[in-house]
Each structure stands twice: as structure tokens, then as C-alpha cells.
Amino acid sequence: MSGVYARRFARRLSVLTATAALTVTGLLATAPTAQAAMPTPVSAATARTYLASLTVKAEGSSTGYSRDLFPHWITQSGACNTREVVLKRDGANVVTDSSCAAVSGSWFSPYDGATWYAASDIDIDHMVPLSEAWKSGANSWTTAKRQSFANDLTRPQLIAVTDNVNQSKGDQDPAEWLPSVTSYRCTYVRAWVHTKYYWGLSVDSAEKSALQSVLNGC
């Protein structure tokens, strides 16, 4: 190779190397961050043990129930309330404004396998619904305890999901409703049992049977 061609080859190699480096850097800078999730529920084995210890009784009455008795989406820090904290936790590349509202990002809903790019398409589901909790023992709690339950970020009680899927779930228990994504049902019932056990809530017989059935397949 002549000196002229050698110098041209060296310059091209240098440019290609620099371009490749910039490309890799750009990919690293724009690659989506790993999506977080609700706190991991107990194992299936532990959930089975917990379930066996729960009080089994007929579901109570909804008389006197009101969502206002479970003050939720309380301020967690600064301008951020519980909903906004969960949106940030469960989303990927979530950007918030000065009031802590999510203005961009993406959210994967494990209940139905859908991905959304607007926070308005996302509900924060109470794994054990507030009405279900009321009928399972929370009717006798203090308002302060119900507030803690409704904003529980430590147990697997809050999760970001597709809004209309959350609405279709309503206050139904696992004997009446389970996620359409069957591979998620094990996680779902583990979280349900974990939450009910921690908060000392009862289960009815149909609910317990449904939970046992799913857990036996985990």
C-alpha cells in the first residue's frame, strides 16, 4: 500500500471508529430504562401458608362503604402524591413536570399485556379493592388505618394498569375476576394473599378456593 493510500485508509478507519463510538454512546443514552414494578409478593409456597391461616367467613355488607373512608392519593413527598409515585415507579422513562404530573413515558400493563404512552390511559389498581377490604374487615378500622391501606407502597397493593381493565375488575375478588394474561395470574394471587395476610383481612370460601386453585399451579 502506497503512503498516500495508507494515510487515506488510516483517516477512514479513524472516522469509522469515531462514528461507531458515537453510535454506541447514542444507543446507550436513548435505550429505555428497565421498567420497575410493584413490590415483589411472597412466593407461592409462602402464599399457600398465608392463605391457610386467613379467616374464612362470608363476605360482609357494603353498607356504610365510601371511598372517602379510605383517603387515597395522599402526598408522599414534595408535590408527589401516591398515584404519581406509582406512575413513576411502574413506568419507563417517565418525565414529570414541576407539579409531579407524568408528562411522558411508557407503561406496560401486566393484566392485559398492553403498553400505553399517556398517563391518562393508566389507573392505579388497588390489588385488594377498597370495597373488598371494607367487606373483609376494614369496616372496623380507623380512618388512619384505612388511609395507610389505600396508599400502601410497601406491600404489593398498588400497580399501574390499563384504566378500563381496572374498571372492569371493579371490586371483584379472584373468584370473580383474574387478569386476562394467564401467565400473570400466579403473581396476582400471590400479591392478593400477601396483602390480605398483612392487613388481617378475611376471605370467603369461593375466594379461597380460587386462590388455592391458582397457587397450586404456580
Per-residue pLDDT of 116-148, as tens digits, reads 999 999 999 999 999 999 999 999 999 999 999
- Give the mean model confidence (pLDDT) for residues 97-126: 97
10 vs 145, residue with greater confidence: 145
pLDDT at 24 over 50: no
The DSSP code for 56 is B
Residue at 92: amino acid letter: A
- Give the mean model confidence (pLDDT) for residues 144-161: 98
Q: How much is the mean pLDDT over the chain? A: 88
- The SS3 call for residue 114 is strand
In this predicted structure, what is the pLDDT of residue 29? 31
Nearest-CA neighbor of 193 among 52, 36, 39, 38?
A: 52
Report the C-alpha gap between 188 and 169 in whole angstroms: 13
Res. 111 pLDDT band, cuts 50 70 90? very high
Q: What is the pTM of this model?
A: 0.84
In this predicted structure, what is the pLDDT of residue 35? 54
In this predicted structure, what is the pLDDT of residue 34? 42
What percentage of residues in the chain have a pLDDT greater than 70?
83
Contacts of 165 (CB under 8 A, 6+ apart): 109, 111, 112, 114, 123, 179, 180
